[in-house]
C-alpha cells in the first residue's frame, strides 16, 4: 500500500497541475492562420502564382495541424 506522504508522488502531482493551468496553445493556433488565408488572397491579387502557392501552403499547414489535433485526441482516448 502506498502512503500519501510520499514526496515524489506529491511533486509529480504538483508538476502535473502546473502544466494544466496554462492556456491550450495548440487549440489557439487557428486564430493565427484563419485570418492569414483571406489576407493572402486579397493582398497578392496581382501575383496569382505566388498567391496560389502561399494559399495552398497555409491551407496544407492548417489541415496538418487539424490532423495532429485529431490524432492526439484519439491517442489520449485509447490510453
In Å, the largest CA–CA distance within the chain is 72
Q: Which helix (H) or strand (E) holds 36?
A: helix 30-43
When divided into structural domains, the chain yields a total of 1
Whether 34 maps to a domain, the answer reads: yes
22 secondary structure, DSSP code: S
Full residue range of the structural domain in which residue 60 is found: 24-78
Q: What band does 7 get if pLDDT is binned at 50, 70 and 90?
A: low
Q: What band does 41 get if pLDDT is binned at 50, 70 and 90?
A: very high
Q: What is the pLDDT of residues 52-70, one digit of tens each?
A: 999 999 999 999 999 998 8
Predicted confidence at residue 39, as pLDDT, reads 94
Q: What is the mean pLDDT of residues 32-38?
A: 91
Amino acid at each position: 500500500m502506498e502512503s500519501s506522504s510520499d514526496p515524489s508522488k506529491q511533486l509529480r502531482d504538483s508538476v502535473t497541475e502546473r502544466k494544466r493551468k496554462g492556456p491550450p496553445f495548440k487549440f489557439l493556433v487557428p486564430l493565427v492562420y484563419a485570418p492569414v488565408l483571406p489576407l493572402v488572397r486579397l493582398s497578392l491579387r496581382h501575383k496569382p502564382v505566388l498567391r496560389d502557392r502561399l494559399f495552398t501552403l497555409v491551407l496544407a499547414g492548417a489541415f496538418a495541424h487539424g490532423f495532429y489535433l485529431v490524432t492526439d485526441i484519439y491517442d489520449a482516448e485509447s490510453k
